[in-house]
Amino acid sequence: MNIGQKVLEALKEEITEVEYKRYIRHLTYDVKKSSASFAIFYAPNALVVNWIKNKYSEKISHLFEVLSGSKASVEITLKNIIEKRKSKKVVEIKQGSSLLNPSHSFNNFMVGGSNQFAYAAVKSVSENAGKVYNPLFIYGGVGLGKTHLMQAAGNVFQDEGKTVIYTSVEQFLNDFIRHVRNKTMERFQEKYRKCDVLLIDDVQFLSGKEGIQEEFFHTFEALKGAGKQIILTADKHPKKIGGLEKRLQSRFEWGLVADIQPPELETKIAIIEKKCEINRVKLSKDIVNYIATVIESNVREIEGILSKLHAYSQLMNIDIDLEFTKNILKDQIRESRENLTMDVITQFVAKDLNIKPSEIRSKGRSKNIVYSRRISIYICRELTQNTMPQLAQYFGMKDHTAISHTLRKINELIQNDEDFKVKISELTNKLTSSS
């Protein structure tokens, strides 16, 4: 029995027979691709991948460590992903998940007003590598499709036989450290400076890490100088990423900076329908509409719900109807929002806006305080179950009429002040996706 099989056997002991039969039994371990520090398991479809990642990946990592004596990063992935690309030139970084997800394609990406600019930019880059916008910088909130779009371009390049590196700042950093330690820096530089396309996800994590910024700067210069395409994503505009060297910040803006906004209802519906099609889940129109209206903006949350719906309906052998969906969503939302109290929200807003929580709750009238208070009140109203009187009390206002007056004012601002609207959706997004 190989180590992967041992891990699965051990896991069998820890879960119910139904769970085992339904999910774990379908996993296969890739002996050849795996190593002491990297374990790959294949699952037959995306839902099983999701389900196992959510529910068992920690357990699997733990068992792997216990049984093999070494700490490995565990990858659960679709069977055909790796097979399909055996023949292709991909630089695989054997740590974390550095593979391009083949279902992150342009075809699977639903376009609407919120993301059409970013979509058009990435599409154009995918057709003219290194020639139009270099670098292309995409920014926006969590779960809005940045990684998906970036990888869609990566998949196109890869199919053309180009050498594509997709990595996170963390992986880049780890790789760097490893090569420094092994005194193999030439190999590091060879790898990152000689590729055709470099995709770096979530570059806001470069913030404050000077050593790696330096190395990244030189990588950037080498690639850009050689006309190689660079695509970057972040959760905010380069100007707003603190702790970033000036020269990097300015280079990030050299090509094109494109933002992604939270999807409108229409787009959300299209995305849900697409995900259902990909995962072969059948949902009626009213269920799709319901999910689209209840979930604010984070598309990843939508995927979680679809996989949960599917899994429950299979485990319990029931059809998915609206009632059932509502129950599942209630749990999901409660789970993810349970920890969001007015304190948590106010502290989060305060930190982001560089102000004290006590000031937000004070009667202060300065512009900054009023602005922060409005944002906190609005988000508390949206994300917690607190009543108007409770809100009034918390924010030191006279009574619920004062709060409802403020909320009216805020809604007006949301209509007319784009910056205000964006700030609210950015913070809401972060709060609902970090839990």
| Contacts with Mg ion, residue ranges (CB under 5 A) | 146-147
34 binds, among Mg ion, ligand ADP, none (CB under 5 to 8 A by kind): none
CA distance 312 to 328: 9
Output 75 or 303, the one with its CB closest to ligand ADP. Answer: 303
Shortest approach of ligand ADP to residue 221 CB, angstroms? 26
Query: Which residue number places its CB atom closest to Mg ion?
Result: 147
Output 97 or 404, the one with its CB closest to ligand ADP. Answer: 97
Output 151 or 406, the one with its CB closest to ligand ADP. Answer: 151
Output 300 or 356, the one with its CB closest to ligand ADP. Answer: 300
Shortest approach of ligand ADP to residue 395 CB, angstroms? 31
Shortest approach of ligand ADP to residue 237 CB, angstroms? 14
What does the DSSP 8-state code read for residue 72? -
CB neighbour class for 144 (10 Å; exposed up to 12, middle 13-18, buried from 19): buried
Output 129 or 232, the one with its CB closest to ligand ADP. Answer: 232
Output 108 or 404, the one with its CB closest to ligand ADP. Answer: 108
Query: Is 407:422 a contact under the CB 8 Å cutoff?
Result: no
Residues comprising the chain, all counted: 435
CA distance 268 to 295: 9
Token look-up 């919120």 returns 114
Strand 229-234 and strand 136-140: the pairing is: parallel
Output 179 or 236, the one with its CB closest to ligand ADP. Answer: 236
Output 104 or 310, the one with its CB closest to ligand ADP. Answer: 104
Shortest approach of ligand ADP to residue 263 CB, angstroms? 6
Output 50 or 376, the one with its CB closest to ligand ADP. Answer: 50
List the one residue out of 46, 41, 45 whose CA is nearest residue 27: 41
62 binds, among Mg ion, ligand ADP, none (CB under 5 to 8 A by kind): none
Shortest approach of Mg ion to residue 168 CB, angstroms? 9
CA distance 199 to 164: 8
Compute the Cα dihedral for 127, 133, 135, 138 and give only its sign.
Answer: negative
274 binds, among ligand ADP, Mg ion, none (CB under 5 to 8 A by kind): ligand ADP
**Concatenated DSSP letters of 167-186:** EEHHHHHHHHHHHHHTT-HH
Query: Which residue number places its CB atom closest to ligand ADP?
Result: 145
271 binds, among Mg ion, ligand ADP, none (CB under 5 to 8 A by kind): ligand ADP
- Which parts of 384-417 fold into alpha helices (H)? 388-394, 400-416
What contacts 176, CB < 8 A, 6 or more positions away?
188, 212, 215
Shortest approach of ligand ADP to residue 164 CB, angstroms? 17
Residues that bind ligand ADP (CB under 6 A): 104, 108-110, 115, 142-148, 271, 274, 299-300, 303
238 binds, among ligand ADP, Mg ion, none (CB under 5 to 8 A by kind): none
Indicate the residue type of 40.
I
Q: Per the omega criterion (within 30 degrees of 0), is the bond before 135 cis?
A: yes
303 binds, among Mg ion, ligand ADP, none (CB under 5 to 8 A by kind): ligand ADP
Phi/psi at 207 (5° precision): -50, 125
List own/partner pairs for 215-223 with CB under 8 A and 24 or more apart: 215/176, 216/172, 216/248, 217/245, 217/247, 217/248, 217/251, 218/193, 219/189, 219/192, 219/193, 220/135, 220/248, 220/251, 222/189, 222/193, 223/192, 223/193, 223/195, 223/198
Output 102 or 364, the one with its CB closest to ligand ADP. Answer: 102
Indicate the residue type of 397.
M
Token look-up 């374990």 returns 39
Shortest approach of ligand ADP to residue 427 CB, angstroms? 15
Shortest approach of ligand ADP to residue 111 CB, angstroms? 7
List the one residue out of 251, 131, 115 whose CA is nearest residue 197: 131
Shortest approach of ligand ADP to residue 194 CB, angstroms? 27
Shortest approach of ligand ADP to residue 116 CB, angstroms? 10
